[in-house]
Structure 1
Amino acid sequence: MKKILVVLTNATRYQGTTDATGLWLGEATEFVEEVTKQGFEVDYVSPKGGFVPLDPRSLKYADEATFSIYESEDFQNRALKYSMQPKDVNPNEYMAIYYTGGHGVMWDFPHNLELQQLSLAIYNNGGYITSVCHGIAGLLHIKDTNGNYLIQNKKITGFTTTEELLSGKKSIVPFLNIDIANKNGAIFQKVRAFRSFVVQDGRLITGQNPFSTKAVAQTLLANLK
């Protein structure tokens, strides 16, 4: 069975504020569009399971293809209303796990041990761990069976400090991706702000920002053929 596990956030706002956040819609829909066209099935999981909020700003950037998936009964139910809990996921069913972004993930992805265990199980089965934008937060603290950070000495990318600054969120995010990546031994790479950019190092595939979503999917697909 050709399946990919898509990870979504449950965080509704920037912690300590009333500023709404959540899933950046296109980072889910654009990925899903690409992989399902090639015959892969997707399932959706979130740290708590159940309700997944949308970052309201992401709707401004939604095109017809994104709205088509967003409005579908399948996405509304399996992704946004009734996403799976990590404990209900069998990692042996998946060829890859994909961490979506949206600023909310910076609070509920980094230290979720259940998601880390799922990711490591998929990876140790020969599968791929992938992310886009802030989704890199889900990879930053995964440790291998020897207790070493999985990203140590690996080339990765994610939403940059410059992009946080340009988004007006640098002062309210709990950390900067590059700081944790460097602290945990990764080789953080980047290009100009808001340009599509994907880095692959072995079976880790990461994208810098929302404009990298389709390229992440296409890179993964090229490896799964």
Structure 2
Amino acid sequence: MSNNKKVLIVLTNVATYGQTNDATGLWLGEATEFIDELFKVGIEVDYTSPNGGYVPIDPRSLNYLDENITSYYKDSDFQERALMHSIPAKEINPDDYSAIYYTGGHGVMWDFPNNPYLQRISEAIYKNGGYITSVCHGIAGLFFLQDDNRKPLIAGKKITGFTTAEEYLSGKVKKVPFMNETLAQQRGANFLKKRAYKPFAIQDGQLITGQNPFSPREVAHLLIQNIK
């Protein structure tokens, strides 16, 4: 695996819970905390989204700003490349990347699972020996990926994501289209979890996944160990 390849950060274009007026979008820290760890060791990133362009931020994630997240939120490069002009997924060349990282926020539950471009990119990176990574609701990007035999890529793999218990605690159970934990198990995955809202990430081969909004740095640390 070449060390000079970038990591592709996947962001949502979905601003509301389905057809409601309840706002969602990217959970900001799940992007900024992850890239912060990568930047510390000189790994570059690009930002993509299913449609490209504007990426809405989940307003609730702005309640969790610390000095670090705020510095990225104010950063003109991050605003420009991630939030305003993310690259359309159909324009991405998978060969440019050593890994793909699916951020969370509830919006991703609508535009990550069945996007053919994201699937093509992820499967190609995996086939090239690269890593598929996610945090929290970003696990939605993994559910329908397939291996060479057209079987679920996550079948038999240890993965984690936002749990059913955490979904109840978030107060959004009636708004979401599915439960991550249930769908992962239906696809044959071995879904692991720790206590609600505690940092937790796990690696199984080329898959690296984190449980919740407190886990992006843990996912990044595992990835860095593999690609540096």
CA distance in 1, matches of 2:181, 2:167: 11
Correspondences of 1:16-31 after superposition (within 5 Å): 16-31=19-34
TM superposition score normalised by structure 1: 0.99
Give the aligned partner of residue 154 of structure 2.
Answer: 151
The alignment status of 1:183 with 2:186, answered yes or no, reads: yes
Runs (4+) of structure 1 moved beyond 6 Å?
none
The percent of aligned pairs where both chains have the same amino acid is 62
Task: Report SS of the residue matched to 2:9.
Answer: strand
Give the aligned partner of residue 123 of structure 1.
Answer: 126
Task: Report SS of the residue matched to 1:210.
Answer: coil
CA distance in 1, matches of 2:222, 2:66: 22
> In the alignment, is the contact (CA less than 8 A) between 1:2 and 1:39 conserved in 2?
no
Correspondences of 1:80-91 after superposition (within 5 Å): 80-91=83-94
Letter in 2 for 1:195: K
CA distance in 1, matches of 2:74, 2:126: 32
Give the aligned partner of residue 217 of structure 1.
Answer: 220
CA distance in 2, matches of 1:161, 1:170: 9
Letter in 2 for 1:99: Y
Correspondences of 1:192-211 after superposition (within 5 Å): 192-211=195-214
1:104-145 deviations in whole A, cap 9, x for unaligned? 000000011110110011111110000000000000110122
CA distance in 1, matches of 2:5, 2:50: 23
CA distance in 2, matches of 1:114, 1:144: 16
Kindly tell me the number of residue pairs found equivalent between the two proteins. 225
- 1:55 offset after TM fit, Å? 0.2
CA distance in 2, matches of 1:206, 1:46: 19
- 1:219 offset after TM fit, Å? 0.7
- 1:73 offset after TM fit, Å? 1.1
- 1:13 offset after TM fit, Å? 0.4
- 1:171 offset after TM fit, Å? 1.3
> In the alignment, is the contact (CA less than 8 A) between 1:131 and 1:206 conserved in 2?
yes
Give the aligned partner of residue 169 of structure 2.
Answer: 166
- 1:11 offset after TM fit, Å? 0.2
- 1:3 offset after TM fit, Å? 0.5
The alignment status of 1:45 with 2:39, answered yes or no, reads: no
Give the aligned partner of residue 96 of structure 1.
Answer: 99
Letter in 2 for 1:161: T
The alignment status of 1:73 with 2:76, answered yes or no, reads: yes
Task: Report SS of the residue matched to 2:215.
Answer: helix
TM superposition score normalised by structure 2: 0.97
What's the Cα RMSD here? Answer: 0.7
1:174-225 deviations in whole A, cap 9, x for unaligned? 0000111111110001111001111110010000001011000011001112
The alignment status of 1:7 with 2:4, answered yes or no, reads: no
Q: What residue ranges of structure 1 are gaps of 5+ in the alignment? A: none
- 1:17 offset after TM fit, Å? 1.1
- 1:39 offset after TM fit, Å? 0.6
> In the alignment, is the contact (CA less than 8 A) between 1:99 and 1:136 conserved in 2?
yes
- 1:16 offset after TM fit, Å? 2.4
